[in-house]
Amino acid sequence: MSKIHFNIEGQVAEIRLDNEAKLNALTSSMLHQLDSCCSEAERDRKIKIILLTAEGERAFCTGADIECWSRMSPKEFSRDWVRRGHRVFDRLARISKPTIAVINGHALGGGLELAATCDIRVMSPSATLGLPETGIGVVPGWSGTQRLARLLPEPVLKELALFGRRLSAERALRLGFVAEVSENPYASALEIARRAIELSPSATEIVKCMLHAGSNEDRAALIEALGGGMVASTQDNAEGTTAFRQKRKPRFSGY
């Protein structure tokens, strides 16, 4: 049965796709589980780093399970399947903690879009990346033409989406899409995670917000969140909320 495992070891959380028989293709149930994993990872203050990986070595993820969406009406496909996937992927992309995609095998279609939601990626040398949707008469639906456009040069993205070409690990490294190519990508990602644990969680979260605001990843919400965090630490904020509870006029100091 296809599912997603959520494991915590120390301060590192692992989200692992488990649908190896279908090359870790995503089902409706797995999207729901991924959403739940994001909630748990965000809520648990002990977790500092999140690794996203998958069972087996053939594929990290080959996208959406065609059996889940091929019989949908156009309206169901657009309103339910595409938008639901976007919501879940956006949630993973915008999680406050650093994320690393462990690309242990081919990442195609929605699998590449899923890897793109993470902050950095570590890739097996034999793995490839691709957007093969036009080969079956559909288009990228979970940010392949949007988030990936910020991470890959336009001509390269067009190679994948318009011409069906694959991107090798070596070329992905040269382009900066992956941080490292490793014979043991999980071990390499874990080593990166262990070094990152030593950094300030508060500073790391704020820097991630700033970087995402700069790249227009949920910019409006992040700007307001940063502003809200700044004002929440002021004496004026404490005075204003206290005065409200005491039903009196606040005496603001400007600090």
Catalytic residue positions, numbered: 113, 133
Helix (H) or strand (E) run with residue 143 in it? none
Alpha carbon 12 to its chain's center: 16
Contact (CB, 8 A) for 51 and 102: yes
Contact (CB, 8 A) for 150 and 215: yes
Helix (H, G, I), strand (E, B) or coil at 47: coil
Contact (CB, 8 A) for 128 and 167: yes
Contact (CB, 8 A) for 13 and 41: yes
User: What's the chain's Rg over C-alpha atoms?
Assistant: 20
Q: For residue 165, what are its two tokens?
A: 């070409």
Helix (H) or strand (E) run with residue 153 in it? none
Contact (CB, 8 A) for 121 and 185: no
Q: For residue 133, what are its two tokens?
A: 């949707």
Q: For residue 153, what are its two tokens?
A: 């040069």
Q: How many whole angstroms separate alpha carbon 47 and alpha carbon 50? A: 8
Would you say the C-alpha torsion 160, 33, 123, 153 has a positive or negative sign? positive
Q: For residue 66, what are its two tokens?
A: 């065609």
Helix (H) or strand (E) run with residue 53 in it? strand 49-54
